[in-house]
Structure 1
Amino acid sequence: MPHTPIAIMWFRRDLRLTDNAALYHALRSGLPVLPVFIFDKNILDDLEDRKDRRVEFIHQALEEMQEKLVTLGSTLDVRYGEPTAMFKELLKDYSVQQVFTNHDYEAYAQDRDIAVEKLLQQHGTTFHHYKDQVIFEKTEVVKEGGKPYAVFTPYSRRWKAALQPQDFAQFPVQKHYTAFLQQARKPLPTLASMGFEPLDQPFPGKMLKTEMARKYSEQRDFPAIEGTSRLGVHLRFGTISIRHLVARARELNDTYLNELIWREFYQMVLWNFPQVSRGKAFRAEYDLISWRNNEAEFTAWREGRTGYPIVDAGMRELNATGYMHNRVRMIVASFLTKHLLIDWRWGEAYFAKKLLDYDFAANNGGWQWASGSGCDAAPYFRIFNPYLQAKKFDPQGEYIRKWVPELDSFNYPIPIVDHEFARKRCLEQYSIALKGKSAL
């Protein structure tokens, strides 16, 4: 086996055996293809929660892929460790001629891939990578003259104008399944062996429901209604194809298509404005804000004890399920940054720990939008009133009462800050900072 020349398909954010760009090219390379996944120790060791459901989700997706591969006479080779070290082992275990993978645009991923490619080159192994998790990447959708967009609406217009049928045509991977390397099933590392515990709770399904999509425009802002697709985690880990979703969205609902374009917009920002990966505000002047950063108030926000029912409901939903409705994400983010004047980076980091569908580009973009510091951001003087947001988007209080059952009892806390006072304080502090003065 070690002397048989092979190709490796390195899975990362693309955990599926259908419509996968790199897998398609690997299977057509003329070499037997070994499917590989690496549980990255650099990432997993930083996770504080040993019951992190994202690790369990990945493990379940790999188990599903493994069952299919076994029926094809093949197997996943799944390892736990530092990626470069794992590839050193793979190069010893197999005669690896080529490695295929799909692009990942986050800063850590780029550094990781550079290190792995350097190692492969030293062994005479070629490294191929492809666009897969987006329709358009990097600088494929830019302004006349080549500059990247900083506002969503003109970007989305150009994105739609550029879209051609071949851009969302699916890769016919199944036609080439006979090219998988034939060998006995290899066991996957258990969650316990990597220091994690399963919760055995169901994950959202990966089917875009036709009726939901058709009503998406009217229902998407109401957290008590199942009016969103809940496909974020599947997009995050690639258990569903973006090409499939774009094709379906074009048929069913333009508003849902716009949400998929927002995802690509934030990936484009991540690539073209690298300062956002370094903890900087997209608009540099917003780094002059003097945040209050009150630890006790941050704890109350995290735990859903602010005395603002819609905010508390959202945070409790996040803590319990790893999910929060998108409208509520905007409300809780606005509250943290503008009512409490706590640095958006604190909220961004907390969401990164808790969100099942956490994606750096979208999370960073959303938090900077809420704080006013990002591209296409709401003006700093637009401050959500949590009471009015609740009245408009949860008029019967169904969502709030689900997560805040003690709402009408003496156990529910009084508001942590008065809305009008907080609004006035925010406007003053932002105004001082944006005039270039020190806010003390």
Structure 2
Amino acid sequence: MRALMWFRGDLRVRDNPALDAACRAASKDANGGVVAAFTICPKQWQAHDWADVRVGFMMRTLAELQDALAERNIPLRIVTTPTFAEAPKALGWLAQEVRAGALYFNDEYEINEQRRDEQVQAAFEKAGRAVHRFTDQVVFRPGEVLTKDERFYTVFTPFKKAWINHWREGEPPEVLGLPKKQPEIDVASDEIPQHVSGIDFTNDLAERWPAGEKEAAKRLDRFVEGRLADYKDARDLYPMDGTSTLSPYLAAGAISPRQCFWGALEANNNRLDSGSKGAATWISELIWREFYRNILVGFPRVSMHQPFRTETRSIPWRDDEEELAAWKEGRTGYPVVDAAMRCLSATGWMHNRLRMIVAMFLSKHLLLDWRLGEKHFMRSLVDGDLANNNGGWQWSASTGTDAAPYFRVFNPFLQSKRYDPKGEFIRAWVPELAGVEDGNAIHNPQEHAGGGLFARLDYPEPIVDHAKARDRVMEAWGVMK
């Protein structure tokens, strides 16, 4: 019987556990063969706040995947349903049409995705078709690394220590090669849609974000052979190109976390937490990614717009549409915040240090609900990822697991001066300030510039005073004491 391989957030042929298993199983059957499927769910994606640019990047990655599959005689079928709810029936019909006796897929960990997968599995098994599920988005399946009393970790440092011990004491999964080439079968591929209902990805930044696993592999190689060594010191200097820029490719599954871990290990003489400080730091960041997926599974409320720390539900968030709009559009009067938000709007991406700065500004300086910022990021990011985005926002807002303490309020002016001393990033994204030569005024025009500067530059004054904002945060969080 043929195998049906269901692709989702794993759009690659190399190091794909479900695809590899499907190809191996099908190769043992003279009447075998593999058919690939991808489900497009426009209403579900919109309900999950998927950014247009993210969908565009994914569709281009899907086109690259289709070509790679064709080289292995695996046709790709496109199944379109409004939401996840129709997936069991639609995939069942496809399996019947292509005469597939088994379904293969890699697990996803968001709550709605888990429910969908359970429903698909139940429908297939009821129809007498086998279902084979695999771990792919993480190195170790969520729940595999637990505390001594078999609970999910809620603090990163002990999780990281346990994760590393699990790697060393067990048999960490190796990177799989290309799957076996299949015999030709009488199933034709579908065309990749150029349009998806309700989603506009005509401006999907293809030049800035080339799609596909080949591009992802090139970026990984360039990073581990070059910038990885200096990553610890350079990662926060956002004007520099000091990060891997792999986040969109990890989000789409054009590269696997295993490939990233092993790439770093090979560059670091097989050491996880010693050797090169740059490599050890990047590996730690990859383990954060594993940690946040464990949080999704262990505490599913974070997938449902709820804070990890339930007591923070009582925080009296403000409601100010004008200030929210100023934050989104980069009109706050805080140059680094405005530059970061304009960069996000134009490129679909933001450096992690900047993500922390603008998230803390929204949730603490403006005291606006962090979920408003989380939603805006998901609607803007090419690398939109619920686990990472939610984890980062809840960390900044002090509502999450192992989060920054509530009294920690980044000073945007000092952050800007520390990580971008010359103001290069501000000049690039806030043209109103490009001509400001004063090295202090570029970061904080109000305090260091002479009278009338704001009128001359057509740049807004700060919408909130830093010191007063901090006092307001202390008062708001006092309701929980």
What is the rounded CA distance, in whole Å, between the counterparts of 1:180 and 1:136 in structure 2? Answer: 35
What is the rounded CA distance, in whole Å, between the counterparts of 1:129 and 1:90 in structure 2? Answer: 18
After TM superposition, give the deviation of residue 120 of structure 1 in Å.
1.1
After TM superposition, give the deviation of residue 193 of structure 1 in Å.
6.9
What is the rounded CA distance, in whole Å, between the counterparts of 2:301 and 2:228 in structure 1? Answer: 35
What is the rounded CA distance, in whole Å, between the counterparts of 1:275 and 1:184 in structure 2? Answer: 42
Structure 1: segments with no counterpart, 5+ residues: 436-440
> Which of 375, 390, 395 is the equivalent residue of 1:364?
390
The aligned counterpart of 2:72 is 72
Corresponding residue SS for 1:9: strand
Report the count of equivalent residues. Answer: 428
Compared CA separation, residues 288 and 178, structure 1 to 2 (3 A) = same
What is the rounded CA distance, in whole Å, between the counterparts of 2:172 and 2:477 in structure 1? Answer: 43
1:132 aligns to 2:147 (yes or no) = no
Contact in 2 for aligned 1:74/1:184 (Cα 8 Å): no
What is the rounded CA distance, in whole Å, between the counterparts of 1:71 and 1:317 in structure 2? Answer: 38
After TM superposition, give the deviation of residue 238 of structure 1 in Å.
0.7
> Which of 445, 463, 480 is the equivalent residue of 1:416?
463
After TM superposition, give the deviation of residue 72 of structure 1 in Å.
3.2
- Which residue identity does 1:163 align to in structure 2? W
The aligned counterpart of 2:115 is 111
The aligned counterpart of 2:252 is 237
After TM superposition, give the deviation of residue 180 of structure 1 in Å.
6.9
Corresponding residue SS for 2:422: coil
What is the rounded CA distance, in whole Å, between the counterparts of 1:362 and 1:188 in structure 2? Answer: 28
What is the rounded CA distance, in whole Å, between the counterparts of 1:290 and 1:23 in structure 2? Answer: 48
1:32 aligns to 2:33 (yes or no) = yes
Residues 324-339 of structure 1 aligned to structure 2 (within 5 Å): 324-339=350-365
The aligned counterpart of 1:434 is 480
Contact in 2 for aligned 1:224/1:399 (Cα 8 Å): yes
State the percentage of identical aligned residues.
Answer: 41
1:227 aligns to 2:237 (yes or no) = no
Contact in 2 for aligned 1:73/1:182 (Cα 8 Å): no
Contact in 2 for aligned 1:26/1:33 (Cα 8 Å): yes
1:152 aligns to 2:156 (yes or no) = yes
The aligned counterpart of 2:42 is 41
Corresponding residue SS for 1:266: helix
After TM superposition, give the deviation of residue 85 of structure 1 in Å.
3.9
Q: Residue by residue, what CA displacement relative to the aligned partner does 1:400-433 show, whole Å, maximum 9, x if unpaired?
A: 11111102543110000111111111111112x2
The aligned counterpart of 2:175 is 170
What is the rounded CA distance, in whole Å, between the counterparts of 1:314 and 1:149 in structure 2? Answer: 32
What is the rounded CA distance, in whole Å, between the counterparts of 2:461 and 2:117 in structure 1? Answer: 50
| CA RMSD, Structure 1 to Structure 2 (Å) | 1.9
What is the rounded CA distance, in whole Å, between the counterparts of 1:167 and 1:182 in structure 2? Answer: 38
Contact in 2 for aligned 1:308/1:386 (Cα 8 Å): yes
- Which residue identity does 2:127 align to in structure 1? H
The aligned counterpart of 1:392 is 418
- Which residue identity does 1:414 align to in structure 2? E
So what's the TM-score if we normalise by structure 2?
Answer: 0.85
What is the rounded CA distance, in whole Å, between the counterparts of 2:5 and 2:96 in structure 1? Answer: 17
The aligned counterpart of 1:438 is none
The aligned counterpart of 1:11 is 7
- Which residue identity does 1:59 align to in structure 2? M
Contact in 1 for aligned 2:49/2:378 (Cα 8 Å): no
The aligned counterpart of 2:55 is 55
1:217 aligns to 2:232 (yes or no) = yes
After TM superposition, give the deviation of residue 45 of structure 1 in Å.
4.7
The aligned counterpart of 1:96 is 100
What is the rounded CA distance, in whole Å, between the counterparts of 1:162 and 1:47 in structure 2? Answer: 33
Q: Residue by residue, what CA displacement relative to the aligned partner does 1:309-347 show, whole Å, maximum 9, x if unpaired?
A: 011111111111110010000000000011000011111
So what's the TM-score if we normalise by structure 1?
Answer: 0.93
Residues 185-334 of structure 1 aligned to structure 2 (within 5 Å): 185-191=189-195, 196-199=200-203, 201-202=206-207, 203=209, 205-206=215-216, 207-208=219-220, 209=223, 210-250=225-265, 251-252=267-268, 253-334=279-360
Structure 2: segments with no counterpart, 5+ residues: 27-31, 269-278, 437-455
Q: Residue by residue, what CA displacement relative to the aligned partner does 1:30-89 show, whole Å, maximum 9, x if unpaired?
A: 33111111112342454889x812122111112112222333333211222242342143
Compared CA separation, residues 426 and 179, structure 1 to 2 (3 A) = farther
